[in-house]
Amino acid sequence: MICFYFVRHGQTVWNLNGKYQGSTDVPLSETGVRQAELAARWFDGKTFDAIYTSPLDRARKTAEALAVRHAMTPIVMPEFQEICFGEWEGLTYDEIEARWPGAVESLYRTPDTLRIEGGETFQEVQERTMRGMRRLIAQGDGKTYVIVSHGAAIRTILCGMLELPLHLAWHFCQGNANISCIHYYGEHQSWLYLLNSQEHLRPLESGT
């Protein structure tokens, strides 16, 4: 069995402002830094073999918060980078809707086929994220890995590992700094053990 933990990066200023960021390298906000620290604490007492991260700053900083607590160094894997939203990046929902009426709805309804101008389809993202997953699976059983990535990228992995149609990708909620977990027992045998857990972020609600 291989245990995979998935952590979405902490909040960014663009998350806060409702902007599509995709492959744009947007840093964590102050809240995002705190979220990363709280996500890292959740892993206290747990052991794992490696931490893999998207190359984008918001994911790397989230991974580094965990790595520091375990005296480890995150390993950058480009396969786990976020989807490229092309010409949508830096724009809000309303701005995109004004320029490309109906396009955002199409993204949520048919993410597997919609191509954003200058960007990627979910299918293309899944091809590279699952390529990364196969690399880790090939390293053998009995391992536990933490993968720090992004909302859309993690959704494509969940669909791929659970053998679900990619058009269902948006059915998986992925909040900032959430934690999900899949146990891989072999081909066609992946079990979802945890999804979008955000209990560790409660101190932010109480101000502690």
Q: How far is CA 171 from CA 11, 65, 136, 156, in A?
A: 20, 28, 25, 11
Distance (Å, whole) CA 178 – CA 28: 15
**Phi and psi for 91 in degrees, rounded to 5?**
-105, 155
Q: Are 190 and 183 in contact (CB under 8 A)?
A: yes
Active site residues: 9, 82
Residue 53, Ramachandran bin (φ over 0: left; ψ between -120 and 50: alpha; else beta) = beta
Upper half-sphere CA count for residue 195 (Cβ side, 13 Å): 10
